[in-house]
């Protein structure tokens, strides 16, 4: 059994993180005894660690909540969520690669720019026919 501070320390999170997970109903808040502190069971530590690992994989708290609810269900449902997340990540990677290519081109244009009154990066960002100043 853990107090909230012991739980947070063991899970490597802040006490406020534990409270936030309680408000989001990801973990259950134990009843407060008449005297002393709330005591969290070992299962709560396991769940907090699960949440943090899932977040590192890019799952949102809503998705993690779904994973928790599905943990006792079929693996196919969990697989579906993971496949959906993978597609989202792959789309973000493609978008980031396009952004990287654009930024490299803009930087290259800027490096080869001989016009001191113009900057290709600023020119690209400002809508046609408009001026910043």
- Answer for the pair 78, 40: CB distance below 8 angstroms, yes or no: no
Same domain, 79 and 119: yes
pLDDT in tens, 62-110: 999 999 888 877 788 889 889 999 999 999 999 999 999 999 999 999 9
CATH no. for residue 4?
1.10.1660.10
Q: Is the pTM of this model over 0.85?
A: no
Among the candidates 72, 106, 122, a domain finishes at 72
Rounded CA separation 111/114 (Å)? 8
- pLDDT reading at 127 higher than 90: no
- pLDDT reading at 123 higher than 70: yes
Place of tokens 């609810």: 69
């Amino acid at each position: 059994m853990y107090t909230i501070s012991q739980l947070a320390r063991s899970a490597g999170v802040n006490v406020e993180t534990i409270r936030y997970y309680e408000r989001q109903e990801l973990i259950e808040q134990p009843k407060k005894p008449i005297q002393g502190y709330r005591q969290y069971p070992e299962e709560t530590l396991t769940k907090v660690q699960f949440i943090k690992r899932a977040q590192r994989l890019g799952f949102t708290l809503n998705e993690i909540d779904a994973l928790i609810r599905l943990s006792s269900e079929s693996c196919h449902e969990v697989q579906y969520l993971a496949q959906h997340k993978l597609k989202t990540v792959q789309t973000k990677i493609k978008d980031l690669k396009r952004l990287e290519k654009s930024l490299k081109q803009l930087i290259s244009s800027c490096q080869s720019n001989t016009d001191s009154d113009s900057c290709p990066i600023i020119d690209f960002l400002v809508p046609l026919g408009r001026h910043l100043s």
